[in-house]
Structure 1
Amino acid sequence: MLNMQLANKYAKAIFEVAQDDGKIDEYGTDLKTVASEIDAHKELASFLVNPQIQPNAKKDLCAKLFKEELSVSVYNFLMLLIDKRREVLLQEIVREYQTLSNAAQNIIHAEVTVASALNEKQQAKLIEKLEESTGKKVVVRTKIDQSIIGGVVVKIGDRLIDGSIVRQMQSLQKQLMAN
C-alpha cells in the first residue's frame, strides 16, 4: 500500500513537470522506454533493485544506458529515483503516469472481444460509436474469442457491453424457459 502511494506521488510529480513543459506524450514514451529496457534485461533489473549496490554505481550505469536517449527531465527524474532509493517503484510509476496522461488527454481504453477479426472499416465504425457514447477518445485492444459465436463484447473500465450471439441465445433461452 505504501509503495502504491509513493508511486502515485512520483508519477504525479513527473506528470506535472510534463504538463508544464508541454511534453506529456514525450515523457510518457521516455518512461516506457526505461521501464521496457529494464524489463527486457533481468540482470539490469536485479542490479537496479539491489539495495547493497551504491546509488552512484546505479547512476553511472543508467547514465551510460539512458542519458542520450531520454529528455533531460526524465533522465533527472530517473536519477532522483535512484538517489531516493525508489527505483524499485519505476514500473508502477510508469503505469500511474499513463493513467494520469490518459485522463488529461480524455483517452480511455476499451477491450473488445469478437469472434473473428474486424476489418479496418468495422473497427473504425466501432471506435466511432464508442467515442460517441463515451464522449472520449477510445483506444481499442481487440481479442478474438470464437466461443462468443458472433457479435461483440466491449469492456471499458468496469462497464461491460455484451452484444455477443452467445449472450443473446442465453437470454432467449431464459425467456423461453420462463414462459
Structure 2
Amino acid sequence: MNYVSHNASEFTYFFCDQLSCAEVDLQSLKKMAALGLGLQVRQFSTSVLRQALIRPPIDVYGVGGRYATALFSAASKQKKLEQVEKEMGTLSALIKDPKLSSIVMNPHVKRSLKLKFFGDAMTKANLSPITVNLVSVLADNGRLTLTADVVGAFAKMMSAHRGEVICTVTTAHPLDEANLAELKVALNGFLAKGETLILETKSDASILGGMIVSIGDKYVDMSTKTKIHKLTKIIRDS
C-alpha cells in the first residue's frame, strides 16, 4: 500500500475513488462518512490503490497541482471533465463570497463547521459528487485555503487538454497593434500541430524595456532590468 507521512503520527493514503489519488487519512474517511457527503468508506485493495492515474496533459506543481491532478483523473474516468470545469467556476465564486469566505478561510473556525457551511452552499449549487468530495478532502486535511490554487491548476490542465497554450508577455509599455501581430507570428512558431495560442499581455514599467515571455513551461526574461542586473553583477565580480 502506498502512503506518505506528514508527521510521525499521521499517515496519508492515496486512494482511487470518485476523487482519485488525493490525500486522505483513515480518520478523515470516517469523518467524511459521518458528514454524509457521499464518500463511501470501505477497504481499498492494493490493486485499487495502485489503479492507474490518468495524467493531465501538463504537470502543475505544488499541493494545489496535486489535488487538481487527482480531480482531473477522477473526472476523466467518469467522462465529466467539462462538467467539473464548469463547477470549478461555481466553486471559485463560492469561495469569493464574503460571508462564506469569512468562515471557510478563518483559521479559528473548526473544520467541521467550515465543511458544514461549504457543504450547504455546494448542495444549493447542485455540485456533483466529484466536486463535493474534492472539497471534503481539502477540508479534512486543513487545506480549504488552497481551494483557489486547485481551481487555478485545474483550469490550466483543461486549457492544455483543449490544445491551448497559454502565453504571457510582459513589456514596459503596451504593445501597438503592429508589434502585437508580429509577436503572435513569432510565438505561433513554437506551437505544435493542433495547438492554439492564448496570448495575455501585461505592462510593467519596472522592467524598463524588453520583454518577459512565459509560454507553456518555458520562461524567458529579456527585460532591460534583468540585463542591467546581470551587467552590474559582472562588473562587481570582475
Residue of structure 1 in register with 2:201 after alignment: 142
1:13-48 deviations in Å (ceiling 9; x for gaps): 11112222333344234224323432352x533411
Pick the structure with more helix per residue. 1
RMSD: 3.8
- 1:35 and 2:95 correspond: no
- Give the Cα separation in 2 of the matches to 1:152 and 1:28: 32
Residues 155, 70 of structure 1: alpha-carbon distance in 2 compared, 3 angstrom cutoff: same
Describe the SS at the equivalent of 1:138.
Answer: strand
What is the Cα deviation at residue 118 of structure 1? 4.9
Residues 133, 12 of structure 1: alpha-carbon distance in 2 compared, 3 angstrom cutoff: closer
Structure-1-length-normalised TM-score: 0.62
Counting only pairs closer than 5 Å after superposition, residues 88-107 of structure 1 correspond to structure 2 as 88-107=145-164
Q: Gapped runs of 5+ residues in structure 2? A: 1-5, 7-22, 24-60, 225-238
Describe the SS at the equivalent of 2:103.
Answer: helix
1:112-160 deviations in Å (ceiling 9; x for gaps): 34644555x9867754552342223221112246865xx9764424443
Residue of structure 2 in register with 1:9 after alignment: 66
Q: Gapped runs of 5+ residues in structure 1? A: 167-179
Stretches of 4+ aligned residues off by more than 6 angstroms: none
Which of the pair has the greater relative contact order for Cα pairs under 8 Å at 6+ separation?
1
- 1:66 and 2:135 correspond: no
Quote the sequence identity (%). 19
Tell me if the contact between 2:111 and 2:142 (Cα under 8 Å) persists in the aligned partners.
no
Describe the SS at the equivalent of 2:168.
Answer: strand
Q: Which amino acid aligns with 1:62?
A: F
- Give the Cα separation in 2 of the matches to 1:123 and 1:40: 37
